[in-house]
Structure 1
């Protein structure tokens, strides 16, 4: 089964895809990274989750992919958690008796970790790959000052994110594919960037409140999101398993270590299920 449709959220349409294996042991909601979309997970990640017995419900966040909204902008951080809650609700209605997992990459990792820390839920486990908890680079000072000023006067203005595509993978073909993807964008508004940054630091400070079994994966060569933020989150928590991939770039599932990374996910899911 492979279905694609839209869910209404406020005045927007949120693009959702559902796919399932023959024997369903659980369901996972997949949350992509900033500037990209769920279809980028179809080649490697989604088949791996299906092989582990999980139905997958993936979605394009507001302002991304096939979903509505200005590219790179959102109403506020709570709206991002509300959209995730909406997709979780859909997953639970499709597979009511099955254990529920969340899978988030980068910004998606920020959202799934904050979701289980801040909201009431029935999540059995979380997988966060290269979670956006702390940037690995310092944005130019002028950009931070301008962005913070705009947050109060023009929160929806979008500027280039400054993300260097060369940092996503050590495989040149993957970088080219990313650069040439018409649905990938590098726009970001102050309302999208600053609250996500703040939520990352909040999650690190409050990870001791985590009660859900969580697998954290991060490459030590990530030049976009600092793997030390993920280490700090892990050290403050009691229910996390941390796998650091030596030299791994930001998109581990599209990097030289993708087999190793997907293997860690498979082993961890086997224990949970």
Structure 2
């Protein structure tokens, strides 16, 4: 399985992208990673599972993440995130013409793919939202929220520690160590990256009834980083379009957790059904 890399530019910032494809392609998945990490962290499990059932996978590192340019943990604005996603989707369509296209977003990526579907007219075939960042699972210190909101107007690019506990990503100690020692993972966040994403999460929950794309929602009930109850609420607001699969006790990165085999089987089964 060979990843073919490419570089493009968005908002004057270099963007690292790539794709993997099986010999016979039945569909294509655009994969959107979570905050603080990068697309390379999906090469050992999620991407092989998708390729195995005939899907090409298009990946990219978002602004200020992984091998893409930009200040770590900062982006131009929220709409720039959606516009970049649209550019990647269009590139995937041109590379793999006349094939069903799916979006796969984890955490912040889940926030983006759901908001994209709600805000843009698109012919996306389906969406997989893994532990989607719709509502935080912890309450940041009040002083940090007040300072951050002030900085959003006066210094939106200033970065501070995100404050996420890496131990919350997985119940497997080796996976936590891999996360902590990955040189491309960072813990920086600017007001421009944090508050608009939080607002967009609540907006998505409140507007979920407008969703017109079949969507698989997966979340672990032990996720201390992103509240699975926000995902439940999204599902309740769009019961006809969403399928909700909760994993008892699962942590934030289900594809790196104890239940990863069950999670990947669930994703493969749902994608087969969509085809």
Q: TM-score, normalization: structure 1?
A: 0.99
| 1:241 matched residue in structure 2 | 243
Among 263, 269, 273, the residue aligned to 2:265? 263
- Cα separation, 2, equivalents of 1:14 and 1:214: 27
Q: Distance in 1 between matches of 2:12 and 2:130?
A: 30
Looking at structure 2, the residues matched to 198 and 76 of structure 1 have their Cα atoms a distance apart, in angstroms, of 13
> Offset of 1:156 from its aligned partner?
0.2
Q: Measure how far apart 1:40 and its partner are.
A: 0.1
Q: How does 1:48-197 map to 2 (within 5 A)?
A: 48-197=49-198
Contact 2:11–2:76 (CA<8 Å) still a contact in 1?
A: no
Residues 1:4 and 2:5 aligned together: yes
Aligned to 1:207: 208
Counterpart Cα distance in 2 of 1:217 and 1:263 = 12
| Displaced runs of 4 or more, over 4 A | none
Q: Distance in 2 between matches of 1:121 and 1:49?
A: 22
Residue 158 of structure 1 and its aligned partner are, at CA, apart by: 0.1
1:204-225 deviations in whole A, cap 9, x for unaligned?
Answer: 0000000101000000000000
5+ residue gaps, structure 1, are none
> Aligned with 1:16: secondary structure?
strand
Match of 1:28? 29
How far apart in 1 are the matches of 2:81 and 2:121? Answer: 16
Q: Secondary structure at the match of 2:125?
A: strand
Normalised by the length of structure 2, the TM-score is: 0.98
Offset, 1:2: 2.8
Residue 10 of structure 1 and its aligned partner are, at CA, apart by: 2.1
CA separation in 1, counterparts of 2:102 and 2:258?
A: 26
The C-alpha deviation readout for 1:152-175, integer Å capped at 9, x for no partner, is 000000000000000000000000
RMSD: 0.6
Deviation at 1:96, TM superposition (A): 1.2
Q: 2:253 maps to what in 1?
A: 251
Q: Distance in 1 between matches of 2:142 and 2:254?
A: 29
Give unmatched runs, 5+ long, in structure 2: none
| Whole-Å separation in 1 of the counterparts to 2:52 and 2:24 | 9
- Alpha-carbon offset, residue 59 of structure 1: 0.4
| Alignment length (residue pairs) | 273
Residue 100 of structure 1: CA displacement? 0.4
Secondary structure of residue in 2 paired with 1:93: helix
Distance in 1 of aligned mates of 2:68 and 2:3: 18
